[in-house]
Amino acid sequence: MRAAVVVFPGSNCDRDLAMAFRHAGCDVTMVWHKDTDLPTGTDLVGLPGGFSFGDYLRCGAIAANSPICRAVRGHGERGGYVLGVCNGFQVLTETGLLPGALLRNAGLKYICRTVPLSVATSDSIYTHGYTAGDSIRLPIAHHDGNYTATAEELAALKAEDRIAFTYPVNPNGSDGDIAGILSANRRVLGMMPHPERAAEPDHGNTDGARLFAHLAGALAQA
């Protein structure tokens, strides 16, 4: 199973994400933002955390219009799997692969700490290793994680069981306490918390490891 991790200028979680994919058994290729194509046979694209293009204009806006993101959008529109973490989630909303947008945290502060999360659905390749209602802990590290969407979009996310993770104690003011959402075909996941920073015993927390293990396992069988 082949994963590609996109590297933008200012990405800083790209190697962490690649390591988590690799440890789960994926064959990982790093892809530069100026590349125009994904490697042949890419099953899964990882959009990493960081501060792509210095967060200039809006978080993720310049990255979403980079050459590789045209290929990523095509991959997503063809039904390919895409996981966007933190800045990667911001890029996914800017590309239109996921609805809504991420605003400045309601408290205006950059927040870097491990927070409790509720798994809101197990109905996706990413969350299948959890049970809906599971309580886990993952690190967050963001200034713009305040998810917002129109009332219609929020209703659709809820009705279609596309909210993947929520915050029991909302740190950033996000609508519906949302921490992560799925696309309509459930193959694109955007989330602000960092599962790749809680994926090995040495991290002191392995709550994120199940996401990668089940993702890689399911894709290997596909």
Q: Which parts of this chain interact with other proteins (CB under 8 A)? A: 57-58, 61, 65, 93-94, 99-101, 103-108, 146, 148-150, 173
Instruction: Please say which residue, 150 or 185, places its beta carbon nearer to other proteins.
Output: 150
To other proteins, the closest distance from the beta carbon of 117 in angstroms equals 23
* R_g over Cα of the chain: 15
3-state secondary structure the chain: CEEEEEECCCECCHHHHHHHHHHCCCEEEEEECCCCCCCCCCCEEEECCECHHHHCCCCCHHHHCCHHHHHHHHHHHCCCEEEEECHHHHHHHHHCCCCCEEECCCCCCCEEEEEEEEECCCCCCCCCCCCCCCEEEEEEEECCCEEECCHHHHHHHHHCCCEEEECCCCCCCCHHHEEEEECCCCCEEEECCCHHHCCEHHHCECCCHHHHHHHHHHHHHC
Neighbours of 46 (CB within 10 A): 25
Q: Report how far residue 178's alpha carbon sits from residue 2's, in angstroms, rounded to the nearest whole number.
A: 29
To other proteins, the closest distance from the beta carbon of 104 in angstroms equals 6
Catalytic residues: 86, 194, 196
Instruction: Please say which residue, 53 or 212, places its beta carbon nearer to other proteins.
Output: 53
Instruction: Please say which residue, 5 or 154, places its beta carbon nearer to other proteins.
Output: 154
Instruction: Please say which residue, 30 or 101, places its beta carbon nearer to other proteins.
Output: 101
Instruction: Please say which residue, 57 or 155, places its beta carbon nearer to other proteins.
Output: 57
